[in-house]
Structure 1
């Protein structure tokens, strides 16, 4: 269920240090945004629209759908209590979302937790990857969408949108100036929602794109 958040964290861990490639505050906000987008793709939340009983733009919970997991469930419960502006939702979900994503990936056997000595890092743990199949597929999909202009999957589009909004693509890519100009242009296209027109889409993809626009604005 939390594919976007899990894939994003795995991509950020895919380095020699086995530690997330972004500083904690920015990473937590990105993971909170990814959890919200997982809920949007499942059609469990959306931004309020004109005519709704709440202020336009606030994120509202939607009834029905598949059962939620330990990552997305608490975020959904938060929004069932009160519709929130995206920026407020990101602030409330940040730290707990990372902890839940880590725990879920550990349960799946994707990563393992290694305690670091205090001298090595302000953060206590590294998380070596135990299985590279999933992160390899996520990275290949991201590179193909950015450089080959392949229509991105919903998860890839969401990850590109989040990282581009938070100026975080540099955590995954090392490019020259020409390469960065290309990537920023393509990432801007995807972030604008153009991927919906590039792919065969249905209501979940449209709702994801609409919600991603609201979350993206809160990250800028």
Structure 2
């Protein structure tokens, strides 16, 4: 399951308008970043270290540090993750380049999937000669409710976040996008920015029991976070 990207999109949907918050292109960038982090949590990608070579069969050439490498991992690939994986299998890319390439159609792929799985509906909000604007009302809050509660607990109660929650906070913090989820006074924002900064810097890895998938996510999130800051 592409849990990070799916949960992020559901969290961005405004209750009143059923439209995703956060302006474009920031929205497309964070959704693309979330797709990469879903792969990282599945131990399918990570940033290359200095002097690392591409796996056998591609010449064994050295890859610049920080480029995203595809890893061998067992099990099927989630259909939502497949385009990101295929992109990186063609050649290692910087997180910035990968995010830019994936952002062109990530929202459409996500909404198509969420409609097909019955988590949202797609309704025409306005129609013009050459374009339509859609709204995406939730079919239930069974998924987004716990996801929002987890984000709030991590930010305000200092609850150690689960990896998907930490990833969502990290990508939104990187583009100054937490305002799409929260409405706070100045004191509240000072608290949230400080706590979100801790999580984005990887503090959650020390707060919770972690294994290889969580560490791989944290390492990849650091690279993705930097790329998002450059794109903002």
Q: For the pair shown, which has the larger CA radius of gyration, 1 or 2?
A: 2
Equivalenced residue count is: 218
Structure 1: 4+ residue segments shifted above 2 A: none
After superposition, give the CA deviation of every residue in 1:171-193 in whole Å (9 maximum; x if it has no partner): 10000000000000000000000
Shift of 1:166: 0.5
Cα 1:140–1:123, aligned 2, differ >3 Å: closer, same or farther?
A: farther
Q: Alignment partner of 1:117: what SS?
A: strand
CA contact (8 A) 1:47 1:58 kept: yes
Instruction: State the match for 1:52 in structure 2.
Output: 52
CA contact (8 A) 1:75 1:93 kept: yes
Instruction: State the match for 2:21 in structure 1.
Output: 21
Which ranges in structure 2 are unaligned for 5 or more consecutive residues?
Answer: 54-62
CA contact (8 A) 2:124 2:135 kept: yes
Q: Identify which of 104, 112, 117 aligns with 2:126.
A: 117
Q: Alignment partner of 1:164: what SS?
A: helix
Q: Alignment partner of 1:60: what SS?
A: strand
Q: Identify which of 77, 83, 91 aligns with 2:86.
A: 77
Shift of 1:15: 2.0
Q: Alignment partner of 1:64: what SS?
A: coil
Instruction: State the match for 2:170 in structure 1.
Output: 161
CA contact (8 A) 2:51 2:64 kept: no
Quick check: which one's helix share is greater? 1
Distance 2:189 2:31 in 1: 24
Q: Identify which of 202, 216, 221 aligns with 1:212.
A: 221
Q: Alignment partner of 1:95: what SS?
A: coil
Q: Alignment partner of 1:84: what SS?
A: coil
CA contact (8 A) 1:70 1:100 kept: no
CA contact (8 A) 2:70 2:85 kept: yes
Distance 2:97 2:195 in 1: 29
After superposition, give the CA deviation of every residue in 1:36-90 in whole Å (9 maximum; x if it has no partner): 0000000000000123021100001112222112210110010000000011000
Instruction: State the match for 1:197 in structure 2.
Output: 206
Cα 1:123–1:88, aligned 2, differ >3 Å: closer, same or farther?
A: farther
Q: Identify which of 108, 116, 120 aligns with 1:107.
A: 116
